[in-house]
Amino acid sequence: MAGSRQLIVVANRLPVRRVTVDGQPQWATSPGGLVSALAPVMSERPESLWVGWTGAAGNAPAPFTHDGINLHPVELSRADVELYYEGFSNGTLWPLYHDAISQPEYHRTWWDTYVKVNRRFADAVLSVADPDAVVWVHDYQLQLVPGMLREASPDLRIGFFFHTPFPARELFLRLPWRSRVVRALLGADLLGFQSEVGAHNFRHVVPRVIDSDDLEVEVGDEDISFVGRTVRTRNLPIGIDFDRFEAGASTPDAADHQAELRAQLNQPRRVLLGVDRLDYTKGIERRLRAYNELLSEDRVSADDTVLIQIAEPSRSNVNGYAEIRGAVEQMVGEINGRHGTMARPAVHYLHRSHSFDELMGFYRLADVMLVTPFRDGMNLVAKEYVATRFDDTGVLVLSEFAGAAHELHDAVLVNPYDIDGLKEAIEYAVFMPMEEQTRRMTAMRTAIETNSSAAWARGFLEILESA
């Protein structure tokens, strides 16, 4: 019966992180959309557990329970982190799956370790799984796990979800190990994607990398028949905990933080905001360049408008990240040197992480939210901003290449590669009449409220368990 089986979640990271409180290390729940999405469904199943890495190299701790979730740590050595995580996952797959914005690298040592670590995750699942358990594997780091599980335990019900985009066929075919990856993914019963584009791209790849003469594969409009099994492919975009963000933005503390921030900025008339991981896929430098040109052309004035760019540290050991940090910081300095003053910088750049409560203040402060990645599987920041706008004010400028654009049609959609188009979109957003703001924001809030993170998780599992 659906819902009665053991549920095992498999992700690269466990939903906890190490923190120090009063000088003592302890576990704390990690922030993030996946944790908030899965916690409710896991709490409904007492036998459920989460398999993943703690984030620290070295010996893994014994299984433990945190916030009612049973956690099963997987061990990664320093070499595993370097070759599997920083190497193949983030040096090969991440750029390849994001349209090769940065050139992917292909190294056999990276691939060999990727196989070895995926096997370790699969073995960890097999050591605790009931014969008919439901196993939900997440994201590009663990693409081989479904096939390994299927081979070892055919009665498992296996789902896989791509949080990243799945690339176009011509890009994916560059991967030397493409056939092994696709065959492993076809070990799943259900493959979920952030958009129909990703699902289409995968179905388009399958017959190209699997020899049709074997009569092993037949690709339909949604389902794939593979060695006598049916693999479902579905467009299942992830949501957010809408109520949490709306409530968090409505508190007196959020209002006080918003007022405090505006005072610190010398009461600007308009505030623009970007909140991103410091990643070359996010388009931060190009966004800053567009803003710089708007100021230079007097289409926006630094006297009454300010841009806050939050760039959270990310993957500092991976090639390309030091370069983008240098480029972003140089652009910030150039803008402030040309358009800012000691009392009023044109751009406030914050290279650090912020708490949930702090983000609520920033989201409420922002008159215009800039979400302009070159490529993104979803981008939950766009949805978070919309959820905090309980008074239906504010404008979202959104890249058409973010997965969120498939749901948030009333954002100001933009091609982030087009500097002139980006400038026009920002200028249009800055001066948008309140009536239009309200109309657009009301529609977007309705769209994301109906697709909450918990509804997404339950919907995925319902499809998986009915297979």
Q: Return the residue matching tokens 């949805």.
A: 383
Q: What is the C-alpha to C-alpha distance for residues 14 and 28, in angstroms, rounded to an integer?
A: 11
Catalogue the active-site residues. Answer: 163, 376
Helices (H) and strands (E) in the chain, counts: 17, 18
Q: What is the C-alpha to C-alpha distance for residues 36 and 84, in angstroms, rounded to an integer?
A: 26
Q: Return the residue matching tokens 């948030």.
A: 408
Nearest to 50 by CA among 123, 137, 163: 137
* Long-range interactions of 86-89: CB distance < 8 A, separation 24+: 86/315, 86/317, 86/318, 87/113, 87/114, 88/113, 88/114, 89/12, 89/114, 89/140, 89/141
> Taking each helix axis from N to C terminus, what angle separates 108-126 and 145-152, rounded to the nearest 10 degrees?
50
Q: What is the C-alpha to C-alpha distance for residues 429 and 321, in angstroms, rounded to an integer?
A: 30
SS3 357: helix
| Tokens linked to 224 | 């794939």
What is the DSSP code (8-state) at residue 59? Answer: P
Query: β-strand 190-193 against 217-219: which pairing, if any?
Result: unpaired
Nearest to 84 by CA among 144, 156, 161: 144
Q: Return the residue matching tokens 């409505």.
A: 250
The answer to whether 134 and 159 are in contact (CB under 8 A) is yes
Q: Return the residue matching tokens 């008159």.
A: 367
| Tokens linked to 85 | 């995580």
| Tokens linked to 448 | 């994301």
Q: Return the residue matching tokens 């957010």.
A: 240
Instruction: For residue 28, give the amino acid letter.
Output: A
SS3 39: helix
Nearest to 198 by CA among 152, 153, 248, 160: 160
